[in-house]
Chains A and B, each alone.
Chain A
Amino acid sequence: MNDTFQLDGSTVPFEPGQTVMQAALAAGRYIPHLCYHPEFKPHGSCKLCTVKANGRTVASCTMPAETGLDVESEIEELNALRRSLVQMLFAEGNHFCPSCEKSGNCVLQALGYDLEVHATGFRHLYPDRPLDASHPDILLDFNRCILCELCVRASSEVDGKNVFALSGRGITKHLIVNAESGKLSDTNIALTDKAMQVCPVGVILPKRVGFSVPIGERRYDQRPISAQALDDAPRQTDSSGNCAACEGTP
């Protein structure tokens, strides 16, 4: 493989068709991200993965990798922007970590810690977003939605069900379900759906499993997200199945 670009001064190889994010993760290099998921086509909406490529700020998840590209990511200028973006997401919804079932397993929260977001920053918008508890097995708490569309994509692309969609425009944009009643109980969603597994925050929750793992022992309580995101990413392995860039990951 001859194609490489520079990421914060070190060389990252890439295959044709890979984006900067995909190549970076495959090489064991973490770039903060929220709406990107290795199993889905890059979306480019959260903008947490913004990097400087040859001096121009772009979303690394959608930016095609190019030979000789000079990418900067771990610099204070960009982390300051990322901090503001995380603060915006906290201000936009209604996030109360201490009482949230997803606390410790939440990507937004984990990113907040990782980026050292110490204060809320912006005035909160306190939107009115009623819960949907109509389904016998699943609860939807729209208050925590960050509009990453992962559930929309998973339900449509993997489950073939189109249970979720987005409605409204701008700051009024919100998640809806595909039913004449507008209720989740009138959809064909199932606990085994991919859409149940992809929510990075605490919107889509199975009922009756609250706090089965104590807070403090959860995923991102163990190790920061910057280390764990690499576990999920598809890695390049050699013929014996070893991954050169995977040291430090279980």
Chain B
Amino acid sequence: MLPDNEIRFDASGQVWLDQLVQRHESNATRLLQILREIQEYFGHIPHQIVTELAQRLSIPRARIESVASFYSFLHLKPHGEYRVLFSDNITDRMLGSQPLMELMCQQLWLQPGKVSEDGLVSIGTTSCTGMCDQGPALLVNGRAITNLNHQRVQEIVQLIRNRAPLADWPADFFRVEDNIRRNGLVLGSALAPGEILRRALPLGGLGVVESIKTSGLRGRGGAGFSTGLKWEACRNAPGLEHYVVCNADEGEPGTFKDRVLLNHEADLVFEGMTLCAFAVGANKGFLYLRGEYRYLLEPLQLVLQRRRNKNLLGKDILGQSGFDFDIEIHLGAGAYICGEESALIESLEGKRGVPRNRPPFPVTHGYLQQPTAVDNVETFCQAALALHMGAEQYRTIGTAKSAGSKLISVSGDCQRPGIYEYPFGVSVREILKDCGAVNTLAVQVSGPSGICVAESEFDRRLGFEDLPTAGAFMILDDSRDLFEVARNFVHFFAHESCGFCTPCRVGTSILKQTMDKIAAGHGTRYDLSEIENLDRVLQTTSHCGLGRTACNPVLHTLKHFRPSYENKLKSLMFSPAFDLDGSLARARQMTGRDDAGAHLKEIE
């Protein structure tokens, strides 16, 4: 990789860019996809290319900068030939990711977040990469490496020092296991591609919608909206085109079920999308795949091609005249907020992933302002199976208000982390028993934005009646400090806030500061009441769910584990946030001193 000012944008570069833009039909709604390819080619998005691209797409160059700077995996400045990002979820930390990152930094003479002076490598952290069952994990130039340990880190350091191309690294590093521990409705389905489609087409679009409504299916992304009602609203909405979008931007820390579904049940996912297209009258579908799952792109494209060859996609699908539908995969680039459906649509349109003002909702004004059905990966699988087994039959599985099964991503302190499929209504205790968890202190259900369940509540059941979940199930045993868990989640929200609205943009950062202040031993009761005030502002005034739930981890752990906060508090009512000694850190660094004389004695 060349430093930015040395990128030679010669004739061959011009041709490469021309071909790229042409392949995307000079369409600015493809901007994010174009930028991703430029990033893959150059290692970053060179300044000169931004100007050239702006001309070719006839858009202001500031818009390109604006979009590129929104996504964590895109860089407008050189970021190293090898860009290493350690997954920073609490489960990675519990498996020892922090000392491993320190080791790598040490061995490569590097500070986290900085690029080495020779431009060879940068090391940093990223939000959960969805490998919680086989962590600690990292991404190198966008490729996931799992099961990190001391030895593996040493080997990676050697490969980087030797400038070995990624293609020559041991394949074992990149192996991602499915870790399916308990089969169910979805994971045990084993249906031939097209089988459900064949059975469902005679029902007609309306019949499919009615069946899904009868089945009681609710969205598996967490919110639990009725899938049938969504499809019906989309079908009935007037528009030039209708669209189907599969939300595979699985970003909630601790969740990895979609990764497994896309690897293990890709046909079922696409089958569900095709049924949805049939039901709502769509000709075009998108699968929005999170950037962290980049390695799944080619395998998924193969599945799509196979389905086209079998006329399960394309024109007049399975001989049904006029039923034309195809699916395109779009990649994300490191932005949790794009899991929010309207932000995802903005991102699909090549923009910053900022949640829209609602109403109108995507079912009437979605992609390109046209009616769009956005559903979670697992929802499409469940919908296909509901049609396969019949709505009435499907309804009998699970509980009264939560029909069907749920895939649970189990990670953390247990013997058998992985994917467990249960009918809704399973208790927390039952899952803990099945995965071999002992001395469990708490379970974080449905990720940082979900609920922290303490032992007294282990008989609570997963389902929309009691404990709604998108699937994350992070187990914390009695060796863990729940304050640190909450602090990790608070950092996550501050990093992932899109910055659109005041409360979330500023509030999550202030919350982070307050938690760091407590961690540093400067916290007081005043800070705890400040957290409660912040929570009120965030919960009531935030633009979307990210801000509204950002305080949850703190509130839940405060409720159940208040001592782990209070242990860290000074007894004072107030202590200034300004850290006199900390403010001299830079001076110490510049003078190379860290002796006692270079520190101010703390004033008690």
A168 to B540, Cβ gap below 8 A?
A: no
List the one stretch of A7-15, A22-30, A159-167, A196-204 in contact with chain B.
A159-167
Residue of A nearest to B358 (CB): A62
Rounded to whole angstroms, the CA-CA distance of A122 and B578 in the bound complex is 12
Map CB proximity to B onto A38-69 as digits: 1 under 8 Å, 0 otherwise: 00001011111010000001010010100000
Is B497 on the interface with A (CB-CB < 8 A)? yes
Chain B residue contacts of A162, Cβ below 8 A:
60, 62-63
Is B496 on the interface with A (CB-CB < 8 A)? yes
List the one stretch of B159-167, B464-472, B503-511 in contact with chain A.
B503-511
List the one stretch of A83-91, A98-106, A128-136, A223-231 in contact with chain B.
A83-91
A81 to B497, Cβ gap below 8 A?
A: no
Is B19 on the interface with A (CB-CB < 8 A)? no
Is B77 on the interface with A (CB-CB < 8 A)? no
Q: From B60, B72, B508, B537, give the contact of A178 (CB < 8 A).
A: B60
Q: From A81, A89, A147, A166, give the contact of B541 (CB < 8 A).
A: A81
B505 to A92, Cβ gap below 8 A?
A: yes
Rounded to whole angstroms, the CA-CA distance of A249 and B510 in the bound complex is 40
Please tell me the size bucket of the interface on B.
Answer: 35 or more
A91 to B506, Cβ gap below 8 A?
A: yes
> Closest CB-CB distance, A140 to chain B, in whole Å?
14
Interface centre among A42, A64, A92, A169 (most CB of B within 10 A): A169
Is A171 on the interface with B (CB-CB < 8 A)? yes
Chain B residue contacts of A46, Cβ below 8 A:
501-502
Whether A84 contacts B537 in the complex (CB less than 8 A), given A45-B543, A123-B513, A168-B70, comes out as yes
Rounded to whole angstroms, the CA-CA distance of A176 and B513 in the bound complex is 26
Interface centre among B66, B72, B536 (most CB of A within 10 A): B66
A47 to B62, Cβ gap below 8 A?
A: no
Chain B residue contacts of A118, Cβ below 8 A:
none
> Closest CB-CB distance, B101 to chain A, in whole Å?
22
> Closest CB-CB distance, A156 to chain B, in whole Å?
8
Q: From A50, A89, A91, A180, give the contact of B540 (CB < 8 A).
A: A50
List residues of A (143-168) whose CB comes within 8 Å of B's CBs.
146-147, 162, 164-168
> Closest CB-CB distance, A187 to chain B, in whole Å?
9
B505 to A171, Cβ gap below 8 A?
A: yes
Please tell me the size bucket of the interface on A.
Answer: 35 or more
Is B309 on the interface with A (CB-CB < 8 A)? no
Whether A165 contacts B65 in the complex (CB less than 8 A), given A47-B501, A47-B541, A85-B537, comes out as yes
Is A111 on the interface with B (CB-CB < 8 A)? no
Residue of A nearest to B495 (CB): A170
Is A172 on the interface with B (CB-CB < 8 A)? yes
A57 to B60, Cβ gap below 8 A?
A: no
Residue of A nearest to B497 (CB): A170
Interface centre among B65, B72, B499 (most CB of A within 10 A): B499
Whether A47 contacts B499 in the complex (CB less than 8 A), given A165-B63, A167-B69, A169-B69, comes out as no
Rounded to whole angstroms, the CA-CA distance of A10 and B181 in the bound complex is 61
B62 to A123, Cβ gap below 8 A?
A: no
A92 to B506, Cβ gap below 8 A?
A: yes
Rounded to whole angstroms, the CA-CA distance of A88 and B497 in the bound complex is 15
Is A205 on the interface with B (CB-CB < 8 A)? no
Is A125 on the interface with B (CB-CB < 8 A)? yes
Given A89-B502, A162-B62, A179-B61, 15 other A-B residues pairs in contact with their CB atoms under 8 A: A47-B542, A84-B537, A89-B506, A122-B506, A162-B60, A168-B69, A169-B69, A171-B505, A171-B506, A173-B499, A176-B62, A176-B65, A178-B62, A180-B47, A180-B51
Interface residues of B (CB under 8 A from A): 47, 51, 60-63, 65-66, 69-72, 335, 352, 357, 359, 494-503, 505-510, 513, 533-534, 536-537, 540-543, 577-578
- Selected A-B contacts with CB under 8 Å, 30 pairs: A47-B501, A47-B542, A50-B541, A81-B541, A84-B534, A88-B502, A88-B503, A91-B506, A92-B506, A123-B578, A162-B60, A162-B62, A162-B63, A164-B62, A165-B66, A166-B66, A167-B62, A167-B69, A168-B70, A169-B70, A169-B71, A169-B498, A170-B505, A170-B509, A171-B499, A171-B506, A178-B62, A179-B61, A179-B62, A180-B61
| Shortest Cβ-Cβ A-B pairs, 7 listed | A178-B62, A165-B62, A173-B499, A88-B506, A162-B60, A170-B497, A57-B540
